[in-house]
Structure formats: C-alpha cells, structure tokens
Amino acid sequence: MSPSTTTDFSSDQDFDLNGKSVLITGGTGSFGKRFVKTVLERYQPRRLIIFSRDELKQFEMALTFSPERYACLRYFIGDVRDSDRLDMALREVDVVVHAAALKQVPAAEYNPFECIQTNVIGAENVVRAALRNGAERVIALSTDKAANPVNLYGASKLASDKIFVAANNLSGTIGTSFSVVRYGNVMGSRGSVVPFFQKLIDEGAESLPITDENMTRFWITLQQGVDFVLSCFTLMRGGEIFVPKIPSMRITDLAKFMAPALPHREVGIRPGEKIHEVLITEEDSRNTFELADRYMIMPEFKSYLRPNPEELGASPVQPGFKFASNNNDDWLDETRLATMMQEAAE
C-alpha cells in the first residue's frame, strides 16, 4: 500500500456547482456547516438547501449564514424519515449530499427502532426522492463502522451503503448516479476524543482515560472531508464507495501529545467498539482500485461499472488487501498532528 502523499483533497477539477441546486441532509451538523461554508466560498449555486429537523440549529446557523446575505440559501425543516417532505425539498435539485444520521453507538444500541428508521429507512427515502425528482448526482456519507460492523450503528450504515450502491440499478433513463464516501474519525468533531481530552485537561484532570493501550484510529479534518466529497462528485460514475488515504495514530500517542505530563488510565473498550478501525476489508479487496490519494470499492454488479475504473487511472489492489488503522503505512507525527488540530480549531 502506498502511503498518502498529501492530505489536501481540494482540486481545480472539483465538480462545478455554479448554477446548480444543491441540497444537504443533516445540513446543520459539523459536516453540513463546513460544507455550506466551503460551497459559498468557492461557487455560486442557484440554490443551497440546508435540510434538517432541528429548528434551533437552523436558527443558530442562519445567524452566520444568513439568507439575506446569501440569496441562494434555503433552510428546510424536515426529517429524512418523511418521504413526502423529502420529495418537496428535492424538487429541481441537481446535487444531493446525504449527511443525516443517528451516529452515537450507545444511543443506537438502546434505541434500535429509531436508528433503523433514520439510517436505513431514511436512506431509502432519499434514494426514492432523488429518483422521483431526477437529481443528477447523490453522495451519501458513511463511516468506518460500516466495514465489518460490530454494532447497530455500523450495521445500519452498511445497509445504507448497500441501498445507495444498488440505487444505480434503479435509475435507468432517469440517469441519477449514487455513490458513497467512507472515512474515519473527524478531528475535533462532536464525539471525537480530541475535544473530550481537551475538556478533561481544561478541568484539571489528574489522568486521561484510555480505552485500550493498543487502540489506533484514522484521522481526517472536517475541511479535508468536505474537499474529499466535492472531489468525488467529479470522479463518480455510480456505485463506488470512495475511501480517502488518511493517516493513523495511536490513541496513547495522541494523549501524550495533548498532555505530556498526565498519566493514562486504561478503562476498557465500550460495547461495540473496535481496537482498530477498518475502512476496506479483505473481502472488498477484489473490487477495490487505487488512485494516488484514494481507493474506490467498486460495486459487485459489474453491469454498471461505467467506465472501467482503470480508465480513470486506477489500478487494482493486491488480493487480500486490507486498509485498517493498524496496518497503515502513513502515521501521524507530532508536527502533522499539530497542524491538523490547528485546522480543526479554525
């Protein structure tokens, strides 16, 4: 496996959103806010629709991204569980980013019906609405937990991935293309260990809790995630799962960097948690192709591989290849980690 030569996924070849109508589900989340900020800075979309169910978050987001200042902005109250509302929201929409999900592992385990309703039924509703409205391109956000899932959240996102990949079989003459983006921990996002550690440090903790001394994680910044999604709109033909080449780091090294003087206290892994993250399984290796900065897991249904990934300059990985946080060739050192943490704080 070739190590990542760059963590900059922005490109002049990004899909041109000028004049397009764009909708993002879960648009008031961490990813959604950075996505909206980036699109407003780089493009002049005809409409940019923030679709979410939380009116307070929409109100707070509109204080920064005001429709009075940005005439293209639309704030739609709605839930991906509501197929009719999605139909209304997607009228004349060209491009969709599906970021809405229930993401907390313990909450999903305790509320399984709700997790399935949002992450699985919601995914189906997005697909149906995109097809009914003739959307051009749809990208759904996934997670490392969807690869060989060990908890309900991961299983529900695997089901979602399968729904979006198979949706290309349904588009026919409508021509809608569906793809998936899968990556690991987002530096500094809600639920990340970085703000958790920082909170403990600020409160004067005498030690930092480590779930397992051997634990490793992939890392990506929010901006890198947004840039990666935008670049995938250009490459997608339908059915691909795009995985960025991103670095790994041991959780103990992260803790030492953030608080060199604090000892570590091993507390054990939580139910449904993995020691190491996996973004591409060995089973997926026979359908995985490699580009300079990413991998593409191609769909099992060979009939709609359009074009052949090798026409994009991609080459097949070796049989039995596995992209996991503990077998990565690219490891964060303190300098790169400091840069990523600074970017995450901006």
pLDDT tens digits for range 111-132: 999 999 999 999 999 999 999 9
Instruction: List pLDDT tens digits, range 320-336.
Output: 999 999 999 999 998 99
Q: Tokens standing for 308?
A: 């052949």
- At 229 the three-state DSSP class reads helix
Spatial CA neighbour of 254 closest among 186, 205, 193: 193
- Can you tell me the distance from the alpha carbon of 124 to that of 9, in angstroms, rounded to the nearest whole number? 29
Decide if pLDDT at 134 tops 90.
Answer: yes
Per-residue model confidence as pLDDT tens digits over 221-264: 999 999 999 999 999 999 999 999 999 999 999 999 999 999 99
Q: In terms of C-beta distances under 8 Å and separation of at least 24 residues, what long-range contacts does 38-43 make, across chains too?
A: 38/223, 38/226, 38/227, 38/230, 40/65, 40/70, 40/72, 42/14, 42/17, 43/16, 43/17, 43/18
Kindly report the average pLDDT of the chain as a whole number. Answer: 92
How high is the pLDDT of residue 215?
A: 94
Catalytic pick among 145, 157, 274, 322: 145
Instruction: List the beta bridge partners of residue 158.
Output: none
Q: Could you report the per-residue pLDDT of 152-166, keeping only the tens digit for each?
A: 999 999 999 999 999
Contact 248, 219 (CB under 8 A): yes
Q: How far is CA 197 from its chain centroid? A: 23
Cβ contacts of residue 56 below 8 Å, gap of 6+? none
* Residue % of the chain over a pLDDT of 90: 80
What's the residue count for the chain?
Answer: 346
- Partners of 208 in the β-ladder: 264
Set out the domains of the chain in order of their start, with CATH numbers. Answer: 21-184+219-246+279-324 (3.40.50.720)
DSSP class of 246: -
Q: Indicate if 199 belongs to the active site.
A: no
Residue range 176-201, pLDDT digits in tens: 999 999 998 898 676 678 888 989 99
Q: Are 104 and 191 in contact (CB under 8 A)?
A: yes
Q: What is the layout of strands, in order, in the sheet containing 241-244?
A: 73-77, 47-52, 21-25, 95-98, 137-141, 177-181, 241-244, 294-297, 288-290, 315-316
| SS3 assignment, position 341 | helix
pTM score, whole prediction? 0.93
